[in-house]
């Protein structure tokens, strides 16, 4: 299997991954090696990690799983553990887990002793196709997603689809939403393949998604232009996700489930503003509803979701900018959207 070379770091797949990890550890003289896991990846992923890793781990640090733990309080515990365990500037942190572990672990590594090396081993489909490229590390602030963080690249990323064998189906489907997004923004053929073959976690599709993301980021590392395309579905999707995270009487949605809603809503905006055809719009809605059952959202909830939009990172000078589609496979960035169209989009979703 191959590797994807991004401008900043390499993403190694399957058999190559094991070799790359062991070689890199040998080549660097790390004083200590720590592995960060959550309670689930401790149980399900550590055994495979130990099998592939020839070196010795000094300590395993375990955090509680799930998005509600992606907070600064958890970082504090990990910083303290690293410090108590004798971590220094020459230590290495290996993050073994889903996006929560890789985002938070990356942030901890970037800030501990002003920055130590870290390696990410994503164990969810979502983290493999999304968090593996781009170097975004960070935590949530209250219910608001990824408000605190830094951009810095891991030493390397290792993608081993074998980890997905123990991942619950709902999490797999959640990760699939980001893959569908990759098709929608730049590659209609990929979108067609995914929507006709259904949920896919095979290495070829993961590689395809990693390549799409890597190409975009290579072209625009600082998110001045094309990189914004990766935010399709996320402006409204993040607001929906935050609303459900915050709400006491609604179950939380997984990230992919929230952005699936976001993509239907933003496809509607695109139909109204940037020429997405009715045919494409309906195809997008039909596809997402096939994988992500409709969620009831009341009018009162819609206004709360809209009030969360203002915190979105794509919001600058009080204007909320959207990434919209001209057609399936082609996105345009920096589109301003009138408020009432957002209500209409929710009506279309219903
Ligand atoms: P995401 O990558 O979607 O941001 P999280 O880090 O929140 O995901 O992981 C989603 C859930 O799946 C968490 O409860 C996590 O502990 C669990 N998990 C992660 N990887 C695996 C795996 N390979 N097998 C089983 N459970 C896993
Ligand atoms: Zn996302």
For residue 16, pLDDT beyond 60 = yes
DSSP one-letter code for 218: H
Question: Is any atom of ligand 1 closer than 6 Å to the C-beta of 45?
Answer: yes
Q: Is the CB of 255 under 6 A from ligand 1?
A: yes
How far apart are alpha carbons 120 and 94 in whole angstroms?
Answer: 6
157 and 14 in one domain? yes
44 with 112, same domain: the answer is: yes
Say how far apart CA 199 and CA 207 lie, in whole Å. 15
Q: Which strand ranges, in their side-by-side order, compose the sheet holding 319-327?
A: 315-316, 319-327, 330-336
- Per-residue pLDDT tens digits for 123-181: 999 999 998 888 999 999 998 888 999 999 999 999 999 999 999 999 999 999 999 99
Same domain, 85 and 33: yes
161 and 175 in a common domain: no
Q: Is the pLDDT of residue 3 over 90?
A: no
- How many domains does one find in the chain? 2
Q: Closest residue (by CA) to atom 21 of ligand 1?
A: 167
Residues 143 and 263 in one domain: no
Note the pLDDT of residue 2. 76
- 209 and 160 part of one domain: no
Task: Spell out the residues 6+ positions from residue 7 whose beta carbon is closer than 8 angstroms to its own.
Answer: 217, 218, 221
The whole-number average pLDDT for the span 306-318 is: 68
Distance 250 CA to ligand 2 centre (A): 21
pLDDT tens string 266-302: 999 999 999 999 999 999 999 999 999 999 999 999 9
- Looking at the structure, tell me whether residues 199 and 319 fall in a common domain: yes
213 plus 328 within the same structural domain: yes
* Same domain as 80, residue 94: yes
Inter-residue contact 132 to 122 (CB < 8 Å): yes
Residues 58-93 as b/e (b if ≥16 CB within 10 A, e otherwise) read bebbbbebebebbbeebbeebbebbeeeebeeebbb
Q: What DSSP letter does each residue of 163-175 carry, written as one string?
A: GGGGS-HHHHHHH
- Look at residue 276 in the predicted model and tell me its pLDDT: 98
For the domain that residue 139 is a member of, what is the CATH number? 3.40.50.1970
CATH number for the domain that contains residue 265: 1.20.1090.10
Predicted pLDDT at 311? 67
Instruction: Identify whether residues 232 and 324 lie together within a single domain.
Output: yes
- Shared domain check, 273 and 131: no
The owner of tokens 């979703």 is: 349
DSSP 8-state code for residue 281: H
pLDDT band per the 50, 70, 90 thresholds, residue 248: confident
What range does the domain containing 138 cover? 3-166
User: Is the same domain home to 160 and 211?
Assistant: no
For the ranges 35-44, 82-91, 237-246, which has the lowest average pLDDT?
A: 237-246
Domain termination site, one of 166, 192, 224: 166
Ligand having the closest approach to the CA of 128: 1
Q: Give the number of other Cβ atoms within 10 Å of residue 55's Cβ.
A: 13
Residue 214 to residue 125: CA distance in whole angstroms: 16
Among 150, 166, 182, the domain boundary falls at: 166
CA dihedral sign, ordered 198, 202, 206, 209: negative
Whether residue 1 has pLDDT greater than 80: no
Instruction: Write out 177-216 in H/E/C secondary structure.
Output: HHHHHHHHHHCHHHHHHHHHHCCCCCHHHHHHHHHHHHHH
Domain end position, chosen among 110, 139, 166: 166
Evaluate if residue 318 carries a pLDDT over 70: no
Distances (CA, A) of 149 to 96, 109, 123, 132: 19, 11, 21, 16
Q: Indicate whether residue 103 lines ligand 1 (CB < 6 A).
A: no
| Nearest one of 218, 254, 193, 228 to 316, comparing CA atoms | 228
The model's pLDDT over 58-74, given as tens digits with 9 standing for 90+, comes to: 999 999 999 999 999 99
> How would residue 8 be classed by pLDDT, with cut points 50, 70 and 90?
low
Of 45, 97, 128, best ligand 1 pocket probe by most atoms within 8 Å of the beta carbon:
97
- Nearest Cα neighbor of 117 from 82, 151, 153 is 153
- Could you tell which of 42, 64, 65 is best to mutate to test the pocket of ligand 1, judged by most ligand atoms within 8 Å of the CB? 65
């Amino acid at each position: 299997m191959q590797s994807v070379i991004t401008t900043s770091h390499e993403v190694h797949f399957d058999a190559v991954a094991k070799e790359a990890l062991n070689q890199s550890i040998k080549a660097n003289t790390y004083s200590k090696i720590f592995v960060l896991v959550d309670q689930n990846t401790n149980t399900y992923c550590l055994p495979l990690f130990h099998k592939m890793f020839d070196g010795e781990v000094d300590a395993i640090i375990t955090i509680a799983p799930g998005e509600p733990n992606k907070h600064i309080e958890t970082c504090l515990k990990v910083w303290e553990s690293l410090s108590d365990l004798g971590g220094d500037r020459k230590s290495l942190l290996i993050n073994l887990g889903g996006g929560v572990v890789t985002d938070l672990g990356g942030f901890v590594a970037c800030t501990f002793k002003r920055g130590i090396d870290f390696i990410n081993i994503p164990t969810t489909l979502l983290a493999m196709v999304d968090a593996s490229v781009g170097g975004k590390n960070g935590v949530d602030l209250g219910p608001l997603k990824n408000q605190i963080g830094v951009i810095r690249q891991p030493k390397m990323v290792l993608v081993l689809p074998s980890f997905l064998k123990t991942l619950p189906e709902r999490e797999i489907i959640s990760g699939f939403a980001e893959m569908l997004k990759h098709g929608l923004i730049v590659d209609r053929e990929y979108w067609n393949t995914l929507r006709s073959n259904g949920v896919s976690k095979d290495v070829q599709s993961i590689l395809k998604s990693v390549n799409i993301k890597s190409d975009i980021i290579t072209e625009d590392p600082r998110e001045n232009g094309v990189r914004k395309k990766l935010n399709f579905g996320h402006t409204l999707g993040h607001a929906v996700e935050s609303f459900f995270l915050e709400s006491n009487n609604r179950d939380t949605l997984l990230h992919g489930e929230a952005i699936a809603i976001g993509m239907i809503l933003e496809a509607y905006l695109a139909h109204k503003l940037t020429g997405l055809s009715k045919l494409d719009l309906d195809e997008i809605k039909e596809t997402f509803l096939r994988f992500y059952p409709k969620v009831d959202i009341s009018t009162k909830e819609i206004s709360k979701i809209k009030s969360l939009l203002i915190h979105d990172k794509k919001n600058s000078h009080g204007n909320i900018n959207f990434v919209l589609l001209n057609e399936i496979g082609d996105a345009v960035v920096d589109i301003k959207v009138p408020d009432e169209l957002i209500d209409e989009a929710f009506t279309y979703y219903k």
